[in-house]
Structure 1
């Protein structure tokens, strides 16, 4: 009995079921008394005594556990001497009634036993109770690993789940499939698709879209077409995302005609043409603009009855790419009239095109109009404007915008600081360049190789060659390795100051560090050789430059032709000029090399 009490403490659930069974027995015992009174005379107190005893014993199941005879047997034995004889004209048979009641009680006890056996005991079947939580936990781990790019670990966990009889759902499979495609392992993605089909996990549209995206990244459009056919055979309808993804991939790879055919197919099969036409048509319009085919872009624009904000932005950006600012502004006006407000992308596009055209007043006007339209500046707005101002030489105004940026609680990225430092350095304003560097450090923005190169240029322009070399040492102490720009800056400065030994030492170090000399390196060496009258050395360097098949600008040609003219070797100068015209496109505007 002590063991049973311990078991009851462990499983309250069983006790509830057990006592509910006891209550059922009590109700049936009450029914026994009722039927008994219908057949037994009221003077048989002993019979009532036994029935009461039976009732009490059933209330306590631990009593009479070792009795050979049941309570019902006791009752029937005692009743034999008290019931009337068969001579009475009583048609009712009490034994038959009690046998029926006995059968009902036994059925009830059997049901109670089956109820008890069906209860899952925590210490004997822990796996059954924890399988659902384990499944959820492992499925979540597979999704997380797939998102983090650990598709291999996710696959191992998937195998363990399958071995334990736990089949992941479609969502988990889609995460793993996407992980394989992002890693470029499209073969594993195909394998997983087959495993899904074998294990009864039917792929949905998202599954196929993920696979299509993987093949689009590979430009394998034959396989994309096969998947689209498979979707039709499996009864999976391609979504708008499917077609938009395929059209976008075709446009990016230059297959615009194929994209147009798919768009036509969409419009032929769908009823709501306008709503489905907008997104793929916008993708096509963007592709035509990038290709420079404005006429085709305009034809598709006119075919759309209702444009949205995205479409207007694509159109404005397209005209800006093709330097057609007037049409861009016309569609900006149409955007207003249609009830759409320009967003940050619209304004940044216009600021960018004005900066590229050198129209900084217009760019600054658009920048100031943003706030009036309720659109806040972002880091891209500031970046475009500051870069444009530095290119145009207005470094002071660029610095003012940088400080406005800080007032707007936008921390400039290192590139913006570097552009301003480099702008001051190019104009020889070393003091302001160092001031901006110090301000940069005050805001915990760490300098990078571009920062050091800008400061090295500033020192060189100011004639501080020793400080420039010192900055190269500071780079190494800061854990930043000098790059090709660093070496070219110092090499050119050494050659200009006539320090040939330092220049050769830098050249050797550059090669040792694994940097290949580029066109700027060879141009500086050629210029120096010509300046020292070493024309053969200059010709040798020019030959090495041509063998490297690097893009060559006009500068080395001009330097050599000038030297040939000084030496009155006009034939060599003319042959070099013909070589330039045959193999290289001369610049429309050739700056002075003096």
Structure 2
């Protein structure tokens, strides 16, 4: 009726106007009104709408879940964009959602964005809580930025947040890694006077400090923390035992470590791979490879699967001892378990055969490595070059140097030293000098082995004057010189009957030593 009146009052308007045009106008007005209403509702913050706590909790839970999924997939840029859009739409994100986003940002180790997020939380809300600070402090500690972590720790009290054992243990661990054990103990004493979870917390803190003292070589202080844990009847876990055994092995107290290994079994714990690897490492360093192999057998009997580190240490120990047959057996065990050995393990076995002059087995292991898709590196070629030289195939050894270049690898100092030595021994001093000039052109600095082999080559050819010139050049270059070049020259002068020159050279060497 109003529309009818409105149209009828217009000039030159017929009461019998087109009703379809009238309703089109009404439809347009209604759409505009609904659009304005939608925009108004979206601009009103959720806390002013009157939602109850259950609704807000559900909304925040959905936001937090979404942020957690995005950050876990590494889509932190999308998460930041979503947060910005939600805030623009008036959504209220709680501190839990912010903490999930902060944790994801800290994982990318770019502290600028987490820092901006913290500042926005302090300015606009929600205020950071204990989890926020713990996350940020841990991120700075992982980046070795302990000063910034300590600054954040000091600002917690200003914001009315009391640090807990997680905060303190994170800082204690970071300070211990930097060798500041006394500062870590002082922080621990000043910060934590009472704690509801004191038993578990004392275990973690004492384990961290005990590990730090072991690594710094202070075994007495470390064992003092262990005695405190036993005196307080703290429920000690496998991690603490692993730290104790590792520390004792570092101090070469292998027998005491064995005793504590037995204690683990008495307490009903099952030693893990780290426990066994610690013992294997200590035994291999002491040359007790057979005992290390026995530990490997014990692992299998107890149902603990050896990992790549276990096999790597045992194979390395066997190769150093020259027991290549057993090293191959462990290599085959590794392959049977579908654990692909890293190039270092292959190189150790190839190098072991090369040093024994067993060219056939060295090439066989190399071919096996290539068949499994493991690319050779410089060390692999150096091991094969050594095997060829030991087998008297100098020409093939030199061709391997060219093959390195075809594989995109560049000969290093070890490569040139082996080839120069082989050339000098075979009497090809000119070829050795060509190799020497080549390495200088490529920017590889010769060392004492290079000069020693060239001096030996000159002396073998009877060219003592050139050998002495090279010895003088070596001294002037500032290279570390040992007695070997001097001994070669003295021996050659004595062989030529020039005893005065030999005695003069010997006196010069004694004067240099003083």
TM-score (norm 1): 0.67
Spell out, residue by residue over 1:300-336, the C-alpha distance to the aligned partner (whole angstroms, 9 max, x if none).
Answer: 1100123210111111111111111111111111111
Alpha-carbon contact 2:42-2:89 (below 8 Å) kept: no
Q: Residue 369 of structure 1 corresponds to which residue in structure 2?
A: 298
Residue 512 (structure 1) aligned with residue 444 (structure 2): no
2:277 to 348, 357, 360: 348
Q: Say if 1:438 and 1:191 are closer, same or farther in 2 by CA, change over 3 A.
A: same
1:536 to 461, 468, 483: 468
2:362 to 433, 436, 439: 433
Counterpart of 1:304 in 2: which secondary structure?
helix
Q: Residue 587 of structure 1 corresponds to which residue in structure 2?
A: none
Q: Say if 1:544 and 1:284 are closer, same or farther in 2 by CA, change over 3 A.
A: farther
Q: Residue 263 of structure 1 corresponds to which residue in structure 2?
A: 188
Residue 557 (structure 1) aligned with residue 489 (structure 2): no
Alignment partners' CA distance in 2, 1:120 and 1:236: 47
Higher Rg: 1
1:174 to 67, 89, 102: 102
Q: Residue 11 of structure 2 corresponds to which residue in structure 1?
A: none
Alpha-carbon contact 1:263-1:277 (below 8 Å) kept: no
Alignment partners' CA distance in 1, 2:252 and 2:99: 46
1:465 to 382, 394, 399: 394
Counterpart of 2:340 in 1: which secondary structure?
coil
Q: Say if 1:119 and 1:476 are closer, same or farther in 2 by CA, change over 3 A.
A: farther
The Cα of 1:271 is off from its aligned counterpart by: 4.4
The Cα of 1:578 is off from its aligned counterpart by: 6.2
The Cα of 1:220 is off from its aligned counterpart by: 5.2
Residue 303 (structure 1) aligned with residue 236 (structure 2): no
Residue 576 (structure 1) aligned with residue 509 (structure 2): yes
Q: Say if 1:536 and 1:175 are closer, same or farther in 2 by CA, change over 3 A.
A: same
Alpha-carbon contact 2:71-2:105 (below 8 Å) kept: no
2:340 to 411, 435, 452: 411
Alignment partners' CA distance in 2, 1:158 and 1:199: 17
Range moving further from structure 2, 528-537 or 494-503: 528-537
Alignment partners' CA distance in 1, 2:87 and 2:3: 49
Q: Residue 255 of structure 2 corresponds to which residue in structure 1?
A: 326
Within-5 A mapping of 1:108-507: 143=71, 147=74, 157=81, 161=85, 169-171=97-99, 173-175=101-103, 177-178=105-106, 182-183=109-110, 186=111, 189-216=114-141, 221-265=146-190, 268-305=193-230, 306-507=235-436
Q: Which runs of 5+ in 2 are unaligned?
A: 6-29, 44-58
Alpha-carbon contact 1:251-1:284 (below 8 Å) kept: yes
TM-score (norm 2): 0.77
Alignment partners' CA distance in 2, 1:509 and 1:328: 52
Alignment partners' CA distance in 2, 1:462 and 1:450: 18
Alignment partners' CA distance in 2, 1:340 and 1:448: 42
